[in-house]
């Protein structure tokens, strides 16, 4: 139905920035309950705020009163962007109608999903992955869990005595850079307290100071590294190499 909308819109789609146009990609997020969040990116080009408002109202009406209403969207977000991709901090997601979040059930937890929040697209696969990490890590009531990249912490929180989450994504770095905080955090961990570290970095990998901090922390007794591409991963090799 987005294609139907584009064909009747008064402004053109944007394929290449230098060729003009406005409407860009559509991102759709769904959950196991059948709720749907749609996020549409729009290049403002030289439009005034009044003209932008007209386009937002037209989009909203199409998906609430027009042919797009059949989609029964739970949420419809609009983002103005002059870049290929940008964060909520750079250009806020604007909720045109519906609920601000959708939720997904994961291992008995209700996870809130925002427009730009990372969540595994295969929920069943994610549950299997997290269960395997829990078994490999051996987390128990005497364990401090260090969740680097904030993926597994919630699902293991009931097993561990304490969970410390360090987020590495750009949005979180705006407030506190992980490579600055993690070394100080790990220095505070006592050697006599068992610490399990789970690392599941994004494609950008780990900052070298994060790798160094993990290697220098004597309190870490178990390290679980999750990667979609373990072979040839230079950071993993650096993390596990023998000390010199």
Q: Annotated binding site, which residues?
A: 120, 167, 200
Binding-site residue ranges for S-adenosyl-L-methionine: 120, 167, 200
The tokens for 63 are 């998906």
| Residue 50, SS3 per DSSP | helix
Residues 6+ apart with CB under 8 A from 40: 2, 23, 24, 25, 26, 27, 59, 76, 77, 78, 79
Query: What's the DSSP call for residue 103?
Result: E
Catalytic: 228?
yes
CA gap 55, 215 in Å, rounded: 52
CB neighbours of residue 107 within 10 Å: 14
Among 14, 71, 86, 228, the active-site one is 228
Closest to 44 (Cα-Cα) out of 80, 11, 9, 85: 80
Catalytic residue ranges: 228
């Amino acid at each position: 139905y987005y294609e139907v909308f584009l064909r009747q819109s008064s402004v053109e789609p944007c394929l290449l920035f230098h060729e003009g146009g406005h409407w860009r990609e559509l991102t759709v997020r769904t959950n196991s309950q059948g709720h749907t969040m749609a996020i549409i990116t729009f290049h403002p080009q030289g439009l005034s705020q009044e003209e932008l408002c007209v386009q937002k109202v037209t989009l909203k009406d199409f998906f609430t009163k027009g042919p797009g209403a059949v989609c029964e969207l739970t949420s419809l977000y609009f983002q103005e962007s002059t870049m290929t991709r940008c964060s909520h901090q750079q250009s806020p997601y604007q909720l045109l109608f519906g609920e601000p979040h959708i939720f997904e059930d994961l291992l008995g937890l209700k996870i809130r999903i925002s427009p730009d929040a990372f969540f595994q697209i295969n929920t069943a696969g994610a549950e299997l992955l997290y269960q395997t990490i829990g078994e490999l890590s051996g987390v128990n009531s005497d364990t401090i869990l260090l969740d680097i990249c904030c993926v597994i912490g919630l699902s293991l929180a009931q097993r561990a005595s304490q969970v410390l989450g360090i987020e590495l994504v750009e949005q979180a770095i705006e407030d506190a850079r992980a490579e600055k905080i993690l070394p100080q955090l790990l220095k505070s961990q006592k050697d006599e307290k068992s610490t399990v570290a789970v690392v599941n970095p994004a494609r950008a990998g780990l900052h070298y100071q994060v790798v160094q901090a993990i290697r220098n922390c004597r309190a870490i007794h178990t390290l679980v590294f999750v990667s979609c591409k373990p072979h040839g991963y230079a950071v993993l090799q650096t993390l596990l190499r023998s000390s010199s």
